[in-house]
C-alpha cells in the first residue's frame, strides 16, 4: 500500500486487506506502547533468560546479563530489530509482559486496526498478524512520535555492554541512501512473513506511507520501494 500521508489518499494498493504475519513490523507497536506509557528512558534494564528466543532460535548480540537503558533498548529494537531488546521492553513494563501485550492489542483497536493481532512484542511469532491497510495507520500514528522517528531512522548506534562496545547498524539500507528522505521505517522477517517493510518517506515533495508485506527475495522489498519512489516521482 502507498498512501499520501497528508490527504490519506491511497495512491496504490494490492491485496491491502490480506491478513499476514508481520514479523518485526510488530516492534513499531512495541515502541508506541513504550512511548505512550511515558516510562523513564534512562531506567536501566537487564537482559534475562526470559528474553532469549526459544521459538525461532534467533541469535542476539545482547548476552544474558547485559544492562542498557530503556532508551537504548528501544533504539536497538527499532533500528536493528533487536529481539531481546524488544522482549525486555515488554517484560519490564510495570504491569508485566501479558499486560503489555494487552496494551498493544487495545492500542491497535483504538486506532481502527481491526485486522491486527499481537501475541508478543518482538514479532517472532507468526501469530502476530496484520494487513497493509492497518499497518499504514500504525505508521501514520508512530510518525507523530519524534523519538520513534529518530530512533528508527538512525544509521548506527554503539552501546557499552560490560567491557565491550557493540556496534549496531540499521536493518534498512535505504536510510543511508542519499536519494531517500526517510522519516520512519521498520523492517521485518520470519519465514512465515517473508520480507516486510514499512516506511514514511518524502518523495517529490509528497509525504508517503509505504507498506510492503511478504516479499520473497532478500532485496525484493528494497527494489519494490525503489520502484514506488521512481513511480511517485514520475507522477
- CA atoms of 127 and 120, how far apart (whole Å): 9
176 carries an active-site annotation: no
Nearest to 122 by CA among 207, 62, 210: 62
- Annotated catalytic residue, options 17, 56, 58, 81: 81
38 carries an active-site annotation: no
- Annotated catalytic residue, options 27, 107, 133, 186: 27
- Annotated catalytic residue, options 14, 17, 24, 218: 24
Name the grid cell of 121: 512484542
Check if the beta carbon of residue 122 is closer than 8 Å to that of residue 26: yes
59 carries an active-site annotation: no
| CA atoms within a 13 Å half-sphere pointing along the CA-CB vector of 209 | 23
Supply the residues annotated as catalytic.
24, 27, 81
Amino acid at each position: 500500500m502507498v498512501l499520501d500521508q497528508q490527504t490519506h489518499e491511497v495512491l496504490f494498493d494490492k491485496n491491502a486487506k490480506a491478513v499476514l504475519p508481520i514479523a518485526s513490523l510488530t516492534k513499531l507497536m512495541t515502541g508506541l506502547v513504550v512511548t505512550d506509557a511515558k516510562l523513564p528512558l534512562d531506567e536501566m534494564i537487564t537482559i534475562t533468560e526470559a528474553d532469549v528466543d526459544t521459538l525461532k532460535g534467533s541469535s542476539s548480540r545482547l548476552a544474558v546479563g547485559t544492562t542498557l537503558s530503556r532508551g537504548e533498548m528501544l533504539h536497538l529494537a527499532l533500528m536493528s530489530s533487536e529481539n531481546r531488546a524488544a522482549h525486555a521492553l515488554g517484560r519490564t513494563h510495570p504491569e508485566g509482559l501479558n499486560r503489555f501485550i494487552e496494551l498493544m492489542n487495545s492500542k491497535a483497536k483504538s486506532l481502527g486496526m481491526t485486522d491486527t493481532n499481537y501475541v508478543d512484542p518482538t514479532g517472532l511469532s507468526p501469530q502476530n498478524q496484520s494487513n497493509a491497510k492497518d499497518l499504514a495507520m500504525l505508521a501514520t500514528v508512530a510518525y507523530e512520535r519524534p523519538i520513534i522517528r529518530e530512533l528508527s531512522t538512525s544509521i548506527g548506534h554503539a552501546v557499552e555492554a560490560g567491557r565491550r562496545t557493540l556496534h549496531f547498524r540499521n536493518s534498512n539500507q535505504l536510510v543511508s541512501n542519499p536519494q531517500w528522505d526517510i522519516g520512519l521505517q521498520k523492517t521485518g522477517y520470519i519465514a512465515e512473513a517473508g520480507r516486510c517493510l514499512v516506511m514514511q518517506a518524502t518523495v517529490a515533495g509528497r509525504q508517503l506511507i509505504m507498506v510492503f508485506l511478504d516479499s520473497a527475495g532478500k532485496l525484493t522489498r528494497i527494489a519494490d520501494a525503489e520502484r514506488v519512489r521512481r513511480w511517485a516521482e514520475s507522477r
